[in-house]
């Protein structure tokens, strides 16, 4: 379970915001806070017990504070979500008494700094109103020297429900802009969503994979900063040009100075190998804001590479600005040196979309990342590390940070830097149509400037993207089409122009001015406003005819876009995760609780799961079998799509499936559940995203074989093709030499079913393809000759397990072919090196097991399942 007592990502974000030390004195204001339901709130009469002051935690939210104080139950348990909607409709007060000494007040400048307030708030100090906030993603700096006094002071933050604040205004407007998902709880009329009009994480209003908890709170740290001589704003290492021979860099320092005069800037750096360098420059500082540029070069730089292409080299930079021998400000920064290009060459398929890092075209392998919790302050550094390590361990090299959530902490990007995970960074616009007024545009621009400046030193960020699905939604979604018909042509044009101004110009110019070394992309999917969005021959592509359109999984083979940045299939998490939010009486696909946790199609998503399970495997025996089969279906379906994309290189240069993770426990498109447990899809991804993969694509009785390689050098190997019956008898074998080109998909053969089977029964046969290098199998794939429910799989495969090396290694073997082997250790926390695989008789798989449980507990908990165990007998062939 997530812990509220551990260091939060919000605190880490504050510590990393400046990435530096400064002459300013910083006093954290993180303890001693209290909160209450505002006595003047419309809901105070219904909840009078919440109007008394109670201890609060900063960073935090009203919901998590109510949970910690025992005033509400677990928001994720059963259908508690519905009972807690009132919280987001009420106004709340936070208050802190804090001491200020006379020395602080002698400083020329004293600022109150909020790293993040969620969202509409009145900031009051000693009963004097100072600021009204209106953006969850911005930092707020307030001069308070003139309102503080020595001794005790009072800081009050009065939070307003974003729904209650905006809804009366919206209902008086001639129309409401199309949003994403209507509330299921009646607090907003259908089609009248307030979330479009506020700069707040959209997913908190409910999504088709997550609950509706409209949070309020001080979700990032608060501090008091005082200074006289100088205060550091930012330290950035710009990278105008980086190649193997030289890195042309600039140390850019932004500071506020108390007075003008000469100064000296010194930049020191330490390379990954421990060698050092230095440059220095005399400057003249003016009173007020200053930006200092110190150009320098590093010969033969040790460059930063994505995972699988080289080392994640990071340089350490230290800057000092001195005057008359005294340090005004100093700062430290770690960053990697690399070049990034979004290559869009024209070719026989249209216009490409490929990430090129240090001159090497990278096939992007990964998934889309959503927020890590409904309440972001609960995510711990350990959980971030587990999530990103799981990403790397599954041979992924990219995550797309989806635009309906929030910008992650520097701690997240630090880990991505260290692990070589490229980040496609959406700005936080998640599909809703945006207002075109100047206030919204200006608010969004400042947000973008702050976030780009905060994050631009991370080499992992390889793309800034304006939004998720705003353009394609406006152009093609049915509700948008209906909306456009309901308003005048002039108003349609104003809305369209407003979106083009925000995503085509404003955000693009922010990136160009603040992080020109990284490309910008207007929307996902799009052609960067060069034409229509979501087309196969240009830009990136989201494909949802499979799942949302109920088309068969095989239709993934019908589309070959230049870069597929979204596609997905749902599944349930494992039973131990389900048991964390559901009672025994809830264990059926369409129980009220399961429907409450299934957010697709207003709870009807479990019927969609059953449709795909029945179409491919048959009828589940029971609820646990339904859960297992949902994961098998998801894993095998996404594998087909991902391998098709990889085998189509260079026509396609990216596969990012939807989605990596969860915000709460329940069914979704994720491959890692809320508690960090790998689903079958994550284990499959580790194989289908491997650096070398052999990919058989079978359609209409014909198979094309591809050898896919991410290696930067060609290699030679042996391709072995064998056919077995399902009892394990080898029917045929053929081997040949094959040369794999670098960074490519190499055609490895074409076969009809007849050529592979030589008369064998396709229902009782399976083909095995192996790529062998220096005597070692480096890629392996099985091919079946029909849907799983049509195959004559052995009814009793005879799976066996034995424990070795004191419970750290589990060996699995089988007497006959076992398809979809799943190892379950129940409620025990355990990490397995392998799972969700097919196994031939006479072979075994050794799995490394990491767990705090002892061997007797592991033996007792172990359960093995394969496909035939989960399907009702009458549907087996």
pTM over 0.85: yes
Matching residue, tokens 């009892």: 727
Matching residue, tokens 């230049």: 562
Total residues found in the chain within this entry: 877
- Neighbour-count burial of 143, counting CB atoms closer than 10 A to its CB (0-12 exposed, 13-18 middle, 19+ buried): exposed
Q: How far is CA 446 from CA 139, 377, 435, 871, in A?
A: 10, 23, 16, 56
CA 572 to chain centre: 19
Residue pLDDT, tens place only, 285-331 = 999 999 999 999 999 999 999 999 999 999 999 999 999 999 999 99
Closest CA to 232 of 213, 252, 247: 252
CA distance 174 to 487: 9
HEC per residue, 429-489: CCCCCCCCCHHHHHHHHHHHHHHHHHHCCCCCEEEEECCECHHHHHHHCHHHHHHHHHCCH
Question: Which residues, including other chains, have CB under 8 Å from residue 683's CB and lie 6 or more apart?
Answer: 394, 635, 834, 835, 836, 837
Q: How far is CA 355 from CA 511, 744, 827, in A?
A: 17, 15, 41
Instruction: Give percent helix, percent strand, percent coil of the chain, each to the nearest 5.
Output: 25, 35, 40
Confidence check: pLDDT of 150 > 90: yes
pLDDT at 6: 30
Least confident of 59-63, 638-642, 742-746, 839-843: 839-843
**Is the distance from CB of 523 to CB of 503 less than 8 angstroms?**
yes
Matching residue, tokens 């430290």: 332
- Neighbour-count burial of 486, counting CB atoms closer than 10 A to its CB (0-12 exposed, 13-18 middle, 19+ buried): exposed
Q: List the domains of the chain with CATH numbers.
A: 24-223 (2.60.120.260), 228-335 (2.60.40.10), 347-430+518-681 (3.20.20.80), 692-786 (2.60.40.10), 800-875 (2.60.40.10)
Mean pLDDT (whole number) for 737-762:
97
**Is the distance from CB of 797 to CB of 815 less than 8 angstroms?**
yes
**Is the distance from CB of 92 to CB of 118 less than 8 angstroms?**
no
Matching residue, tokens 């007075």: 259
Mean pLDDT (whole number) for 149-161:
98
Q: HSE on the CB side for 804, CA within 13 Å?
A: 10
Strand bridging mode 692-699 / 702-709: antiparallel
Confidence check: pLDDT of 14 > 60: no
Q: HSE on the CB side for 561, CA within 13 Å?
A: 26
Confidence check: pLDDT of 8 > 70: no
Matching residue, tokens 């198979």: 703
DSSP state of 617: T
- Neighbour-count burial of 653, counting CB atoms closer than 10 A to its CB (0-12 exposed, 13-18 middle, 19+ buried): buried
Can you say whether the dihedral through the CA atoms of 592, 594, 595, 596 is positive or negative? positive
Q: How confident is the model at residue 71 (pLDDT cuts 50, 70, 90)?
A: very high
Q: What does 121-153 look like in DSSP terms, one character per residue?
A: EEEEETTEEEEEEEBTT--EEEE-TTT--SEEE
Mean pLDDT (whole number) for 161-178:
98
Strand (E) or helix (H) holding 631: helix 623-647
Q: How confident is the model at residue 23 (pLDDT cuts 50, 70, 90)?
A: confident
Residue 346 in 3-state DSSP? strand
Mean pLDDT (whole number) for 506-520:
98
**Is the distance from CB of 474 to CB of 496 less than 8 angstroms?**
yes
CA distance 344 to 537: 11
**Is the distance from CB of 506 to CB of 441 less than 8 angstroms?**
yes
- Tokens for 858? 């592991």
Confidence check: pLDDT of 574 > 50: yes
Confidence check: pLDDT of 17 > 50: no
**Is the distance from CB of 669 to CB of 658 less than 8 angstroms?**
yes
CA 528 to chain centre: 22
Mean pLDDT (whole number) for 408-426:
98
CA distance 57 to 11: 12
What mean pLDDT is reported for the chain?
A: 96
Residue pLDDT, tens place only, 241-291 = 999 999 999 999 999 999 999 999 999 999 999 999 999 999 999 999 999
CA 251 to chain centre: 30
DSSP state of 672: B
pLDDT at 70: 96
Question: Which residues, including other chains, have CB under 8 Å from residue 790's CB and lie 6 or more apart?
Answer: 763, 877
- Tokens for 849? 């097991």
Mean pLDDT (whole number) for 685-700:
98
**∠ CA 666-668-669, rounded to 5°:** 150
**Is the distance from CB of 667 to CB of 605 less than 8 angstroms?**
yes
- Tokens for 54? 């109670």
Confidence check: pLDDT of 22 > 90: no
Confidence check: pLDDT of 674 > 50: yes
CA distance 14 to 849: 37
| % pLDDT > 90, the chain | 96
DSSP state of 7: P
Q: How confident is the model at residue 24 (pLDDT cuts 50, 70, 90)?
A: confident
Question: Which residues, including other chains, have CB under 8 Å from residue 154's CB and lie 6 or more apart?
Answer: 95, 96, 97, 125, 126, 127
Q: How confident is the model at residue 11 (pLDDT cuts 50, 70, 90)?
A: very low
Can you say whether the dihedral through the CA atoms of 521, 487, 405, 689 is positive or negative? negative
Can you say whether the dihedral through the CA atoms of 379, 380, 384, 389 is positive or negative? negative
């Amino acid at each position: 379970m997530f812990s509220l007592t551990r260091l939060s990502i919000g605190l880490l974000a504050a510590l990393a915001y400046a990435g530096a030390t400064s002459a300013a004195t910083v006093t954290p204001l993180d303890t001693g806070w209290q909160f209450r339901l505002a006595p003047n709130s419309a809901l105070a009469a219904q909840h009078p017990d919440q109007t008394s002051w109670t201890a609060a935690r900063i960073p935090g939210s009203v919901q998590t504070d109510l949970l910690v104080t025992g005033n509400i139950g677990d928001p994720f348990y059963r259908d508690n979500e519905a009972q807690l909607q009132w919280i987001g409709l009420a106004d709340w007060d936070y208050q802190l008494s804090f001491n200020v000494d006379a020395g602080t007040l002698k400083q020329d400048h004293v600022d109150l700094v909020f790293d993040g307030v969620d969202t509409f708030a009145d900031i009051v100090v000693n009963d004097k109103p100072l600021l009204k906030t209106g953006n969850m993603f911005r930092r707020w700096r307030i001069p308070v020297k003139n309102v503080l006094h020595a001794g005790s002071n009072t800081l009050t933050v009065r939070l307003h429900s974003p729904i209650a604040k905006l809804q009366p205004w919206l209902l008086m407007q001639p129309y409401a802009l199309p949003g994403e998902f209507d509330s299921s709880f009646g607090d907003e009329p259908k089609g009248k969503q307030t979330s479009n009009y506020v700069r707040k994480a959209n997913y908190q209003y409910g999504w088709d994979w997550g609950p509706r908890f409209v949070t309020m709170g001080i979700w990032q740290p608060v501090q008091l900063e005082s200074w006289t001589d100088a205060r550091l704003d930012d330290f950035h290492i710009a990278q105008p040009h980086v190649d193997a021979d030289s890195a042309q860099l600039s140390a850019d320092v932004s500071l506020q100075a108390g007075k003008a005069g000469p100064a000296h800037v010194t930049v020191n750096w330490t390379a990954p190998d421990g060698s050092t360098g230095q440059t220095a420059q005399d400057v003249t500082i003016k009173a007020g804001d200053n930006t200092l540029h110190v150009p320098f070069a590093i010969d033969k730089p040790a460059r930063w590479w994505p995972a699988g292409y080289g080392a994640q080299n990071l340089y350490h930079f230290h800057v000092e600005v001195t005057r008359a021998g005294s340090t005004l400000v100093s700062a430290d920064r770690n960053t990697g040196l690399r070049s990034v290009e979004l290559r869009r060459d024209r070719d026989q398929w249209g216009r490409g979309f490929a990430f090129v890092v240090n001159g090497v075209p990278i096939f992007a392998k990964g998934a889309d990342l959503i927020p890590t919790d409904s309440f972001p302050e609960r995510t711990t550094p350990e959980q971030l590390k587990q999530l990103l390590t799981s990403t790397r361990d599954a041979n992924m090299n990219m995550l797309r940070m989806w635009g309906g959530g929030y910008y992650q902490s520097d701690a997240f990007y630090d880990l991505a830097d260290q692990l070589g995970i490229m980040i496609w960074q959406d700005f936080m616009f998640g599909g809703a149509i945006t207002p075109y007024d100047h206030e919204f545009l200006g608010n969004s621009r400042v947000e973008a400037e702050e976030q780009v400046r905060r994050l631009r030193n991370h080499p992992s960020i390889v793309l800034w993207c304006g939004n998720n699905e705003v353009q394609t939604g406006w152009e093609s979604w049915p509700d948008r089409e209906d909306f456009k018909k309901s308003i005048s042509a002039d108003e349609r044009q104003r809305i369209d122009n407003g979106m083009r101004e925000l995503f085509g110009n404003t955000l693009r110019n922010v990136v160009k001015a603040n992080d020109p070394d990284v490309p910008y992309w207007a929307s996902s999917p799009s052609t960067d406003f060069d034409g229509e969005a979501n087309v196969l021959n240009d830009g990136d592509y989201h494909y949802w005819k499979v799942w949302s359109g109920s088309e068969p999984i095989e239709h993934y083979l019908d589309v070959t876009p230049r870069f597929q940045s979204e596609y997905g299939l749902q599944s349930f998490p494992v039973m131990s995760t389900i048991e964390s939010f559901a009672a025994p009486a809830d264990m059926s696909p369409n129980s009220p609780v399961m429907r409450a946790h299934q957010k697709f199609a207003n709870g009807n998503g479990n019927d969609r799961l059953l449709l795909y399970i029945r179409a491919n495997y048959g009828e589940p025996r029971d609820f646990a079998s339904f859960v297992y089969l949902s994961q098998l279906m998801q894993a095998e379906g996404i594998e087909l799509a991902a391998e098709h994309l990889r085998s189509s290189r260079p026509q396609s240069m990216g596969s990012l499936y939807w989605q990596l993770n969860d915000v709460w426990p329940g069914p979704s498109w994720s491959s890692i559940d809320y508690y960090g447990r790998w689903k079958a899809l994550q284990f499959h991804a580790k194989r289908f995203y491997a650096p070398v993969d052999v990919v058989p694509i079978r359609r209409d009785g014909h198979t094309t074989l591809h050898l896919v390689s991410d290696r930067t050098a060609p290699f030679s190997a042996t391709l072995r093709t064998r056919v077995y019956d399902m009892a394990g008898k080898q029917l045929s074998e053929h081997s040949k030499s094959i040369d794999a080109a670098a960074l490519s998909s190499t055609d490895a053969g074409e076969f009809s079913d007849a050529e592979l089977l030589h008369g064998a029964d396709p229902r009782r046969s399976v083909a095995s393809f192996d790529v062998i290098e220096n005597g070692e199998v480096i890629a392996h794939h099985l091919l079946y000759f029909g849907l799983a429910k049509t195959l004559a799989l052995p009814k009793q495969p005879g799976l066996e397990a034995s424990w070795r090396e004191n419970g750290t290694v589990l060996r699995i073997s089988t007497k006959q072919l076992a398809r979809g082997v799943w190892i379950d250790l129940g409620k025990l926390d355990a990490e397995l090196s392998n799972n969700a695989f097919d196994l031939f008789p006479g072979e075994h798989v050794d799995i490394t097991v990491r767990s705090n449980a002892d061997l007797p507990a592991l033996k007792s908990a172990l359960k093995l399942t394969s496909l035939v165990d989960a399907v009702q007998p009458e549907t087996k062939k």
